[in-house]
């Protein structure tokens, strides 16, 4: 009698079940990588803004402008000063930190940012000029989105006041991104 070589149906079913269990266990670790990457990018932008604000505050303090409660222009490439018109490398400050003017951030961070005309609440943040970031400023706060990110995935910058430093509020979790 010849013996047949091969797997039985039960052996194949057991292997398929084991592979299914492994797939269900491992899949959640890889499903939201894009959301995690967007949150990391937002945290990186937050750190960049904090670093730029530290440098801007230092320049403002050297010029004695760190207590100015009205918009004062600080030349981030040269010497601080005041003036009615912005120069290409000036940022406007309030209490020594960058205010909510939308031109401040591309200048201070040296990244490509497109300014939106309206706050987005649904859909996704889409840049028409292929910028890395899009922002909306209403003067009191500035919201940043990564180009193409969902509207709920943003970081919000609130300028300094007489009693507090600027605040940064990133999206708290990757499930929104």
User: What HEC string does 108-128 produce?
Assistant: HHCCCEEECCCCCCCCECCCC
Non-local (6+) Cβ contacts of 34 within 8 A are 177
pLDDT classification of 89: cutoffs 50, 70, 90 = low
The predicted-structure confidence for 110-164, as pLDDT tens digits, reads as follows 888 888 777 676 666 666 777 888 888 877 888 888 888 888 888 889 999 889 9
Q: How many CB atoms lie within 10 A of CB 133?
A: 22
| Tokens read off for 78 | 């040269």
For residue 2, give the 3-state DSSP assignment: coil
pLDDT classification of 80: cutoffs 50, 70, 90 = very low
Give the mean model confidence (pLDDT) for residues 61-86.
69
For residue 170, give the 3-state DSSP assignment: strand
């Amino acid at each position: 009698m010849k013996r047949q070589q091969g797997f039985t149906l039960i052996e194949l079913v057991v292997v398929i079940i084991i592979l299914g269990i492994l797939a269900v266990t491992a899949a959640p670790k890889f499903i939201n990588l894009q959301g995690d990457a967007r949150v990391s990018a937002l945290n990186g932008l937050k750190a960049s803004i904090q670093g730029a604000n530290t440098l801007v505050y230092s320049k403002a303090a050297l010029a004695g402008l760190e207590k100015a409660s009205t918009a004062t222009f600080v030349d981030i490439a040269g010497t601080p000063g005041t003036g009615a018109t912005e120069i290409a490398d000036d940022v406007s400050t309030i209490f020594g930190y960058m205010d909510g003017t939308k031109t401040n951030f591309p200048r201070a961070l040296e990244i490509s940012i497109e300014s939106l005309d309206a706050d987005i609440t649904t859909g996704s943040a889409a840049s028409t000029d292929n910028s890395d970031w899009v922002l909306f400023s209403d003067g009191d706060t500035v919201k940043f989105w990564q180009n193409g990110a969902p509207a709920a995935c943003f970081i919000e910058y609130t300028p300094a006041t007489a009693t507090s430093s600027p605040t940064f509020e990133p999206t708290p979790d990757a499930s929104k991104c």
